[in-house]
Structure 1
Amino acid sequence: MITMELFSLSLLFTVSLSTIIFFLFRTTTASRRKTRLPPGSIGLPLIGETFQLISAYKTENPEPFIDARVSKYGSVFTTHVFGERTVFSADGETNRFILQNEGRLFESSYPGSIANLVGKHSLLLMRGSLHRRMHSLTMSFANSTIIKDHFLVDIDRLVRLNLDSWTGRILLMEEAKKITFELTLKQLLSIDPCEWSENLRKEYMLVIEGFFCIPLPFFSLTYRRAIQARKRVTEALNLVVGERRRERERGVKKNDMLAALFDSDGGDVVFHDEEIVDFLVSLLVAGYDTTSTTMTLAVKFLTDTPSALAQLQEEHDKIRANRGTSVALEWDDYKSMPFTQCVVNETLRLSNIISGVFRRAITDVKIKGYTIPKGSKVFTSLRAVHLGQENFKDARVFDPWRWQNISDPINFMPFGGGPRKCPGHELARVALSVFLHHLITRFSWKPAEEDKLVFFPTTRTQKRYPIIVECRNVGG
């Protein structure tokens, strides 16, 4: 009797499962007939083409994974990486469409490892009206007027302070990271370099190392360390925020991002300390690692292109001569660096510190004759566009002179685009220009050893770019 009942239940389960599978298959097939996805390959079950992507970027080619698929499928194609079917775009027009339709057709979507480490209240993960408000606040605090009137003096002072300790062999990327972290901390919290800030920087480096790990502490020692470091970073920042609130009650006012957050606190929105700390952590991400890497690669590209370095040196020696006895740069000096801006643009185009951004379709979207289904992950590859021969002649060659003839760089988007364009883009340009000025007028240098570029998970140098520096001028 029991056996018969079990058999009947088993038969019923089998029939039911078969029916479900039949209807799911028929529905999926019908959906595929109606939906014309971009062509491509989804690779193996579950892992897709993730291994192909990771192994491809171990070569010296900056865009091997996308190059191979663009030649086979076109500039918009489908793949399956990091656990999700993903539509890749290597087309400038498509990328602009996706980024400009943030909040209407697409929304930001980041891997779990990054989301967990920056915090749920970070600018990266904010959406809707709150994101618009906080993005606008950040942009208003980093516009040209604010930089000119308040930040330039700090940028110039901190760059010179760091360069004062340079002698002999240095790891340029490490030194650049110190500079950008101190700059960012000063602008966010009015904190000058000290033992506390250096300890915080070391913890923060551990946090960033966890961004591209499997977000499971049990499986990844690096990710476990990153989570622990993130806890220590938030504890330190919470103490600062709490102390600043008490100072504010006593009438002490400072001119930094935290003060701007306090000023915007009120009405329908009240920011708790946890939210403020997450917001500060995300701004540290934006201002620290990317800018320091751009500084390093600018020096490497210039070193590998002596004619560009010579012209840049001539421009900055002239500025230095016009300054007389004053060493500090002023806003008019920054605005008189035309070739420097060509170097900055070309470094941003060729290095592509942020290779692209992830979005998710919030409705079915038609692009280039295809349909991206609702819920699909989309990756807009900024690097593929910047390195596309159809967009820039000799696209994979460092050529700053090209920017003397480009008036409307429609396919140039190093800081993203749309409502989520990096709010600190002008600040990054100023910091890089000031750094190059003081480096070039104070030092000559040569590589200490051969170093190569690595392109995954982000662009960087393999050995942190060791160089040997010698003083050119005294008193800089």
Structure 2
Amino acid sequence: MDPFILYSLAFALLYISLYLIFFILKGNYSNNKHTNLPPGSYGWPILGENIDMAYSSSPEKFIHERMEKHSSQVFKTSLFGEKIAIFCGSSGNKFLFSNENKLLTTWWPQSLTKPLLCPTQSQSQNSIKKIALSNRGFLLEILKPENLKQYIPFMDSMARDHLKQEWVPFKEVKIYPLVKKYTFGLACKLFLSIEDFQHVKKLSDPFILVTSGMFTVPINLPGTPYNRAIKGGKMVREELMKIIKERKINEKNNHSDHLLSRLISFSDENGQFMNDAEIYNNIIGLLVASYDTTSAAITFVLKYLAELPKIFNEVYKEQMEIRKSKGEGELLNWDDIQKMKYSWNVACEAIRLMPPAQGAFREAITDFTFGGFTIPKGWKTFWNVYSTHKNPKYFPEPEKFDPCRFEGSGPAPYTFVPFGGGPRMCPGKEYARLEILVFMYNVVTNFKLEKLVPHEKIIYQSSPVPLNGLPVRIQPHGNLA
């Protein structure tokens, strides 16, 4: 055998062995300190229950099996090399949402932070917390509805162009990859003022590597998803930092209104401007959300519309009323979006049944109790969508597609949580709503959809993904407006 290969294997075994010893010693120490921990299992050394989750048919099944076996309120597990308490039910969601920055603080797995954040930032969770706290107000400001109104015509125009180029010439299309292409292109346009296809592709290709390895065990060995995520993240980081430095020079003489420009010119109450790393981290967070979760949401909305003719027809009626009120070539505006009430109920029901994001992590900053169990300081917590979205206690006949659930006051508090809740509600919620509705409008008013793989398998990465890309046959209603 080649000496280099032997050396590599020996190094890999040594690395894993040392990691294993550290993990076991760390676990034993932690277990001796606290006796009233939540029920559950840590799974395999190093790997924890990552394998169990990966080989389960879905994260939903993983969660529900452990709720039944251990506790319907909170159970312990080990994922991504960390001890994690998974909170369940509306009471678990309410507890975590209500205790932000009191008992808990921001935390994300290393498999997400190290590939994506700048090297000086990714080495410290404290840096992540600082960025999250200091810049959240800014993001909430620029992403609130009043400021997003100006984006609607751009979204509509790009959606029209996208359909003309990628849908109209064909009888059959794969929805998922096309939607990802649209959402990422739109994000590059609105956030970075980048329109050139090759430039967009230079960012999107390595992004695929990053998103595929974001929630895996952080073992950086050749061939692992985490290793590929590290490589992809390096390419994304280099390209974005290059763009930021160039725009800083150009903005001195030519101020524009895209998000990157506003980040560059933003200063806090002390007159301090963001440095390049902070600007980068704000942009990268928005790009990840727009590329992954919003793409999944749109894809599964269209999946259900293709499967349910009665639902499709109701959405079609609502959207055609809006379309008929528009002049030739007139783009959508804020008032049009407000009329899409039934369409948004349909989108919410699709998101309930097939959530684009699984939940979010926090870190305990002190020991506390929940459900009669102790969560030690330093433990990670996770609230999840699966313990409520299909729970018959909150949603009768949970597998039934029923948009009426969202009429009036809608579901009970803390039960429908695709965007989180409390002070850490996702700041991009309204942006996602606009993007979903605009794309729905353009597809539904132009095409009928017929699924080509009736029982297509869904696989789970950071978001659910249709295995075959959701291939459909499209039947145009008529010429595009």
CA contact (8 A) 2:50 2:80 kept: yes
The alpha-carbon distance between structure 1 residues 329 and 462, as it changes in their structure 2 partners (threshold 3 A), is same
Q: Counterparts of 1:316 and 1:441 in 2: how far apart (Å)?
A: 7
Matches within 5 A, 1:115-134: 115-120=113-118, 121=121, 130-134=131-135
Q: Counterparts of 1:304 and 1:402 in 2: how far apart (Å)?
A: 19
Q: Residue 382 of structure 1: CA displacement?
A: 1.8
Partner of 1:91: 89
Q: Counterparts of 1:435 and 1:457 in 2: how far apart (Å)?
A: 22
Q: Counterparts of 1:466 and 1:279 in 2: how far apart (Å)?
A: 34
Partner of 1:436: 440
Partner of 2:79: 81
Look up the equivalent residue of 1:262 and give its one-letter code.
I
SS of match in other structure, 1:328: coil
TM-score scaled by structure 2?
0.86
Deviates more, 1:220-229 or 1:417-426: 220-229
Look up the equivalent residue of 1:431 and give its one-letter code.
E
CA contact (8 A) 1:79 1:85 kept: yes
Deviates more, 1:153-162 or 1:91-100: 91-100
Q: Counterparts of 2:174 and 2:30 in 1: how far apart (Å)?
A: 58
Q: Residue 124 of structure 1: CA displacement?
A: 9.6
Matches within 5 A, 1:346-365: 346-365=349-368
Partner of 2:473: 468
SS of match in other structure, 1:80: strand
How many positions carry a matched residue from both structures? 445
CA offset digits 1:363-421 (Å, max 9, x no partner): 01111222211111212112221121111111223221221254454111111123332
Name which of 316, 328, 335 aligns with 1:332.
Answer: 335
Matches within 5 A, 1:361-400: 361-400=364-403
CA offset digits 1:201-253 (Å, max 9, x no partner): 22222222221344333243543333233222222222221221112222x11
Partner of 1:40: 40
Q: Counterparts of 1:212 and 1:69 in 2: how far apart (Å)?
A: 19
Name which of 165, 172, 187 aligns with 1:169.
Answer: 172
Unpaired segments of 5 or more residues in structure 1? 1-23
Unpaired segments of 5 or more residues in structure 2? 1-26
Q: Residue 445 of structure 1: CA displacement?
A: 2.1
- 1:215 pairs with 2:218: yes
Partner of 1:66: 63
Deviates more, 1:455-464 or 1:150-159: 455-464
Identity of aligned residues (%): 30
Partner of 1:264: 266
Look up the equivalent residue of 1:82 and give its one-letter code.
F
Q: Counterparts of 1:69 and 1:334 in 2: how far apart (Å)?
A: 41
Partner of 1:447: 451
Deviates more, 1:101-110 or 1:266-275: 266-275
Partner of 2:145: 144
The alpha-carbon distance between structure 1 residues 27 and 111, as it changes in their structure 2 partners (threshold 3 A), is closer
Q: Counterparts of 1:325 and 1:382 in 2: how far apart (Å)?
A: 42
Q: Counterparts of 2:412 and 2:88 in 1: how far apart (Å)?
A: 16
Q: Counterparts of 2:404 and 2:338 in 1: how far apart (Å)?
A: 18
Partner of 1:255: 257
Q: Residue 336 of structure 1: CA displacement?
A: 0.7
SS of match in other structure, 2:445: helix
Partner of 2:15: none
- 1:427 pairs with 2:437: no
Partner of 1:156: 156
Deviates more, 1:317-326 or 1:400-409: 400-409
CA contact (8 A) 2:47 2:217 kept: no
Partner of 1:413: 417
Q: Counterparts of 1:64 and 1:130 in 2: how far apart (Å)?
A: 34
CA contact (8 A) 1:200 1:233 kept: yes
Look up the equivalent residue of 1:249 and give its one-letter code.
K
Partner of 1:106: 104
Deviates more, 1:304-313 or 1:46-55: 46-55
Q: Residue 465 of structure 1: CA displacement?
A: 0.5
Partner of 2:7: none
RMSD across aligned C-alpha pairs, in angstroms?
A: 2.5
Q: Residue 26 of structure 1: CA displacement?
A: 11
Q: Counterparts of 2:230 and 2:282 in 1: how far apart (Å)?
A: 17
CA contact (8 A) 1:320 1:327 kept: no
Q: Residue 352 of structure 1: CA displacement?
A: 1.2
Q: Residue 314 of structure 1: CA displacement?
A: 1.1
CA offset digits 1:81-139 (Å, max 9, x no partner): 33333211122122222123222211222221111112055899755564233111111
Partner of 2:204: 201
CA offset digits 1:284-325 (Å, max 9, x no partner): 101211111111100111222221111111111111112242
Q: Counterparts of 1:117 and 1:30 in 2: how far apart (Å)?
A: 33
Q: Counterparts of 2:346 and 2:423 in 1: how far apart (Å)?
A: 27
The alpha-carbon distance between structure 1 residues 126 and 188, as it changes in their structure 2 partners (threshold 3 A), is farther
CA offset digits 1:226-283 (Å, max 9, x no partner): 3233222222222221221112222x11112212212224646342223322321222
The alpha-carbon distance between structure 1 residues 191 and 111, as it changes in their structure 2 partners (threshold 3 A), is same
Name which of 272, 291, 294 aligns with 1:291.
Answer: 294
